[in-house]
Chains A and B, each alone.
Chain A
Amino acid sequence: MLGLGKKDFSLLMLVLVLTMLAPFILNPFPEGSGMAQFNAGYPDLMQRFVIFGIFAIGFNILFGLTGYLSFGHAAFLGVGSYAAIWMMKLVSLNVIPAMIMGVIFAGLFALVVGFISLRRSGIYFSILTLAFAQMSYALAYSVLTPITGGETGLQLKSTDNPILSNLAEGEIGRASLFGLDMRASIELEMGNWLFTLNMGYYVAAFVMLIAFYIAIRIFRSPFGVMLRAVKSNQNRMNYTGLNPRPYTLAAFVISGMYAGLAGGLMVAMDTQVGPERMFWTASGEVVLMTILGGVGTLIGPVLGAGLIKYMENIISKINSDILHTWFAFLPDGLEDLVVTLIYPFIGKGWHLTLGIVFMLVVIFLPGGLVEGGQRIARLFGKRRKSEDGSSAGKTTPAE
């Protein structure tokens, strides 16, 4: 169906169900209970899940298939964001043209960066992409201030009057999809539970489904096989009459366009951009997401993005007061000891937790969370249907 095999189709359906029901699935704890802080079903975070999911899916097309580790992918995210916000400032508040612009500009920028960087492979390629991303960051931060807004970045202002929208004098525009406000939400109260169905989230989730579908098609296409051939043996490829360069460049541009789409969606959800979006840590984050989830697998990058964003937003909100209430049942001295021991791993220390999780995954599960899922499935002796993305994922640890 949809040109997919049975396995891939059920994977797509699984992702469809998960994304559509996410506001419910991610809010398992009743409002006001002690566990409510672990609820992730609020619009802002769910939007980040799917947006970074798109970013990681695209990154995986390059890294997972060709093995080229780009360390500057955040630059494309940034370029996509700037293109999208200018589209909203000047032309239309509709999110669709903004996203299209984001994709086009990120793709063009990726074409230039890729054309130059792909002259080298391995660590030199990574360093070249990193250099480009940091240059873009520095330019956005300083020299290009008239276009990027410099340090403060850009946002929709009361003085912006897009030509295709009829804003009243002094009204600040809001991102919309044919008139539907991105920030509109329906709140459902069921007993003690509160579920928020947000317009922006559903738009983003729908875009992610399309992006995911295209990624499956690419993985299963002759082009996908060629990209895996690039990773496996470029020498044989050359002597088989194939030119690896345009294949890698095409993968690089496609993956840059995914990043641009993610950047455009970020603007569609929250109409502002700053240069920090292109900072090298943002590029590193997508590498972590992909490796954590499973390099070269279909669903892995989405899981990795979800896990990192969950930790960033949930673990970082736990503070020592919360810890004290959790361990209040312990004798005083012991309570203080336990809290002192756990404290470095929460709040601002969430990076430490992430680091440890990352190390454990890389050492014990080189195939990422997907491999973990497969092992659990095997443990129960059942053949779980569709967690595995591709055969490439099984054999390739992080590089």
Chain B
Amino acid sequence: MGILEVKGVNKRFGGLQALGDVNLSVQEQTVHAIIGPNGAGKSTLLNCLVGKLIPDSGSVMFDNQSVLGRKPHEINQMGISRVFQTPEIFTDLTVLENMMIPCFAKRDGAFRLHALESLGHEKGIREMAETMLEEVNMLDKRNAHAGSLSRGDKRRLEMAMCLVQEPRLLLLDEPTAGMARADTNNTIDLLKEIKEKRKITMAIIEHDMHVVFSLAERITVLAQGTPLVEDTPDNIKGHPKVKEAYLGEAAH
């Protein structure tokens, strides 16, 4: 039994069957990639996992609890963090403040009225945030405005904000989309490091095969809303069905 179990998930948008009978099982402490051509339903599937979309039928279980019908912040509190295609950070706040927010969320839950407490007295939270920033080599930028960071740094900050919550499952939505090769390689290194150090289960949606084959231990290929195959990277590489799906896309 995997940490994340998706069973028979269907989702229609009007006349379009975005997801048709999707089954997926992500095992604990593995990196599981979900690949597929454009329009295969990868992002729809991810949105169903985090509570942004609700499937028409089927079940999504995380750690034996259903996530369906829960709000995104509740699902996050269960232990699922998400990294976006374009880094989503608090651009108006400083790097340190950005980092402190997930620390507060971890300690205080979804809401707490700490209106008359002083931010300066939150030594524990500050330490936790600074340790994490140190780990991703961003401590020297702690007083910078997050909006002024380079794209690579924004990505690292977002990743660090997710990691400081110590999630049990990290979802990554095309973490290298639109990046230059050098940045892509940096991101791969960062993810590898996370994988080794923290043993976090990761599910990655990715277009770039270079990224997928450098990181993934299991790969699910999605085409037209249904999983084609699920296997190890080595077996996927030469799989005829996969070639067909990608070549089919290229022929359009």
| A223 & B115 in contact (Cβ 8 Å cutoff) | yes
Q: Known A221-B114, A233-B88; judge A240-B122 contact (CB<8 A).
A: no
| A247, B112: Cα distance in complex, Å | 8
Interface centre among A233, A238, A396 (most CB of B within 10 A): A238
Return chain A residues, CB-CB under 8 Å to B149: none
Contact of A224 among B94, B105, B119 (CB under 8 A): B119
Residue with the highest number of chain A CB atoms closer than 10 Å, among B106, B119, B120: B119
- Which residues of chain B are near A236, meaning CB under 8 Å? 88-90, 158, 161
Q: Is B205 an interface residue (CB 8 A)?
A: no
Find A226's partner among B84, B101, B161 (CB 8 Å cutoff).
B101
Task: Check: A108 CB closer than 8 A to any chain B CB.
Answer: no
Q: Mark B143-178, 1 if CB is under 8 A from A, else 0.
A: 001010000000000100100010000000000000
In the complex, residue of chain A having the shortest beta-carbon distance to the beta carbon of B79: A241
Q: Whose C-beta in chain A lies nearest to the C-beta of B87? A: A236
* Known pairs A226-B104, A392-B92; A239 contacts B115 (CB<8 A): no
A362 adjacent to chain B (CB < 8 Å)? no
Q: How far is the CA of A396 from the CA of B92 in the complex (A)?
A: 9
Q: Is the CB of B116 within 8 A of A222?
A: no
In contact, A217 and B118 (Cβ under 8 angstroms)? yes
Indicate if A228 sits at the interface (CB-CB under 8 A): yes
Contact A232 B91, CB 8 Å, known A226-B101, A254-B115 = yes
B140 interfacial contact with A, CB 8 Å: no
Determine which residue in A217, A224, A233, A391 has the highest number of CB atoms from chain B within 10 A of its CB, and name it.
A233
Q: Which one of A214, A217, A222, A241 lies within 8 Å of B122 (CB-CB)?
A: A222
Q: Which residues of B contact A392 (CB under 8 A)?
A: 92
With a cutoff of 8 Å between Cβ atoms, the chain B residues found around residue A235 in the complex are: 84, 88
Within the complex, the shortest CB–CB distance from A56 to chain B, in Å, comes to 19
Interfacial chain B residues near A218, Cβ < 8 Å:
115-116
A222-261 contact mask (Cβ, 8 Å, vs B): 1 or 0: 1111101101110111111111001100100010000000
Q: Is the CB of A250 within 8 A of B115?
A: yes
Q: Please, which residues of chain A bring their CB within 8 A of the CB of B92?
A: 228, 231-232, 392, 395-396
Which residues on the A side are within 8 Å of B94 (C-beta)? 391
Contact A241 B76 (CB under 8 A): yes
**B33 CB to nearest A CB, Å:** 21
Instruction: Tell which of B84, B90, B102, B117 touches A241, judged by Cβ atoms closer than 8 Å.
Output: B102
| In contact, A222 and B91 (Cβ under 8 angstroms) | no
Instruction: Say yes or no: A229 contacts B113, CB within 8 Å.
Output: no
Residue of A217, A222, A228 most packed against chain B (CB within 10 A): A222
Known contacts A5-B120, A239-B76, A241-B76; is-contact A222 B114 (Cβ 8 Å): yes
Bound: A232/B92 CA distance, A:
6
How close is B129's CB to chain A, nearest CB, in angstroms?
Answer: 11
Contact A240 B91 (CB under 8 A): no
A220 within 8 A of partner (CB): yes
B50 at the interface (CB under 8 A from A): yes
Q: A220-B118, A239-B72 are in contact. Are A233 and B89 (CB under 8 A)?
A: yes
B93 at the interface (CB under 8 A from A): yes
CA distance A231 to B101 in the complex (A): 14
Residue of B nearest to A391 (CB): B94
Known: A218-B116, A221-B115, A222-B119. A243 touches B73 (CB 8 A): yes
Residues in chain A near residue B91, CB distance under 8 A: 232-233
A243 touching B122, Cβ below 8 Å = no
- Interface residue B206 (Cβ < 8 Å from any Cβ of A): no
Complex contacts, A229 vs chain B, CB 8 Å: 90, 93, 101
List of B residues within 8 angstroms of A191 by Cβ: none
Query: Which residue of chain A lies nearest to B158 when distances are taken between CB atoms in the complex?
Result: A236
Nearest B residue to A3 via CB reads B118
Q: What 0/1 pattern do residues 348 to 370 of A give for CB contact below 8 A with B? A: 00000000000000000000000
Report yes or no: A217 in contact with B116, Cβ–Cβ below 8 A.
Answer: yes
B141 to chain A, nearest CB (A): 15
Contacts of B71 in A (CB 8 A): 238, 243
Question: B90 touching A232 by the CB < 8 A rule?
Answer: yes
Q: How far is the CB of A388 from chain B (nearest CB, A)?
A: 15
Given known pairs A5-B120, A222-B117, the reply for A242 and B89 (CB within 8 Å) is no
Q: Of the candidates B109, B111, B119, B161, which one forms a contact with A247 in the assembled complex, judged by CB atoms under 8 Å apart?
A: B111
B77 to A223, Cβ gap below 8 A?
A: no
9 interchain pairs, CB-CB under 8 A: A222-B104, A232-B90, A236-B161, A237-B90, A238-B72, A240-B165, A241-B76, A241-B105, A242-B105
Report, nearest first, the 4 A-B pairs whose CB atoms are least far apart.
Answer: A241-B76, A232-B90, A223-B115, A243-B110
A233-B89, A238-B76 known, 19 other contacts, Cβ within 8 Å? A222-B100, A222-B114, A222-B125, A223-B114, A223-B115, A225-B93, A225-B100, A226-B101, A226-B104, A229-B101, A231-B92, A232-B92, A239-B73, A240-B165, A241-B102, A241-B110, A242-B101, A246-B110, A392-B92
